[in-house]
Amino acid sequence: MSVTREQLLDMYRMMSLIRRVEELAAKAYTQRKIIGFCHLYIGMEAVAVGASTALRPDDVVVAAYREHGQILARGVDPKHVFAELFGKDTGTTRGVGGSMHMASREHHFWGGYGIVGGHIPLAAGAAFAAKYRGDDSVALVYFGDGAAQQGVFYEAMELAQLWKLPCIFLCENNYYAMGTSLERQSFLQDMSRRGDGVGMERWQFEAFDAVEVYDNISKAAEHCRSGKGPVIVEGITYRYRGHSMSDPAKYRADGELEEKKQRDGILLAADRLKKEHGVTDDELEAIKADVDKQAQEAYDWAVAQADADPALLYDFTYASEAH
């Protein structure tokens, strides 16, 4: 067993927290408390939680726009995530970014970006910085199967490989890019094979079980830290909701969602905790209740915060002395 009982309990708690935060966000969106786009991470929690558990606090994470769960998994308080969603001054990006633009300097989390694939070179840049400084931190970038069709992704991989940068390219293959299924958008079904063209270490793995994700990302991080250069890994996952809040996801085959839910990351972690560590149903229920309370308190706190200051709007567009 690669993770300890305590780590697995923390992973179970974090996956449950992400799901609850996302459920509350979905509700808030329908009440127009959240404006603009909103992409939920429900169903994919095991990826961010397994990956974050395998990383060190000083490692950099770069994310796209489906990043609420990814920033929570790095330890950012749900209060600030909700505040950002509601456009409040105490949000992760002072309320001027919203759902698609959450970042935390303290947590080395640099997201999110709405241009599909456009964020991937930033991770190569962060990995370059780590190598230049001579520390052994790594950069990990999350991107989708759709982003793996973008040209800029190849350029980032090529430079990372040429300069042996400590970068983990983590493709979250959830089978869809908006409403377009993987078979309709890509000849290759295994995005890690994109690495072959630049001679990069690569592999594909199933990312439904957070422990499996932990093992694979630990291996990838070890590879990068030992100076062997970047890796590209593809985690097979699935999103339960539509692409964004405006998508009812009618393009799925009948029964597909129900089938995928059999391998729900929270259920798999609960199974492991019970079978491998003797954790009881009551203990798991208590964690769920505690998480629900934490999420609701964070939500209520955020609703009561002051709105973002419109005068800040341009401050974050260009670097300045003040920030």
Ligand X SMILES: Cc1ncc(C[n+]2csc(CCOP(=O)(O)OP(=O)(O)O)c2C)c(N)n1
Residues contributing to the site for ligand X (CB under 6 A) = 66, 114-116, 144-147, 174, 176-178, 243
- CA 217-220-221 angle, to 5 degrees, is 85
Q: Per-residue x/- marks for Mg ion, 159-188, CB under 5 A?
A: ---------------x--x-----------
Nearest distance in Å: CB 148, Mg ion = 9
Alpha-carbon distance of 136 to 58, in angstroms, equals 9
Buried b (16+ CB within 10 A) or exposed e, 30-48: eeebbeeebbbbbbbbbbb
- Count of residues near Mg ion by CB under 5 A: 4
Task: Give all strands (DSSP E) within the chain, no chain letters.
Answer: 60-62, 103-104, 109-110, 139-144, 167-173, 176-177, 180-181, 201-206, 231-236
Pair of tokens at residue 312: 């800040």
Alpha-carbon distance of 312 to 310, in angstroms, equals 5
CB 9 within 8 A of CB 283: no
Q: Does 87 bind Mg ion (CB under 5 A)?
A: no
Nearer to ligand X, 101 or 243 (CB): 243
Nearest distance in Å: CB 180, ligand X = 8
Nearer to ligand X, 153 or 214 (CB): 153
Nearer to ligand X, 9 or 64 (CB): 64
Nearest distance in Å: CB 314, ligand X = 23
Nearer to ligand X, 87 or 146 (CB): 146
Residue with tokens 């520390």: 135
Count CA atoms within 13 Å of residue 33 on its CB side: 18
Nearest distance in Å: CB 322, ligand X = 30
Nearer to ligand X, 69 or 87 (CB): 69
Nearest distance in Å: CB 106, Mg ion = 29
Alpha-carbon distance of 101 to 66, in angstroms, equals 10
Which residue is nearest to ligand X, using beta carbons? 144
Q: Does 209 bind Mg ion (CB under 5 A)?
A: no
116 touches, from ligand X, Mg ion, none (C-beta below 5 to 8 Å by class): ligand X
List of residues 6+ apart from 214 with CB closer than 8 A: 2, 3, 7, 11, 50, 51, 53, 54
Nearest distance in Å: CB 121, ligand X = 13
CB 144 within 8 A of CB 172: yes
Residues in 122-161 at the binding interface with Mg ion, rule: CB under 5 A: 144-145
Nearer to Mg ion, 153 or 299 (CB): 153
Nearer to Mg ion, 141 or 221 (CB): 141
Say if residue 72 is exposed, middle or buried (CB neighbours under 10 Å; 0-12, 13-18, 19+): buried
50 touches, from Mg ion, ligand X, none (C-beta below 5 to 8 Å by class): none
Footprint of Mg ion (CB under 5 A): 144-145, 174, 177
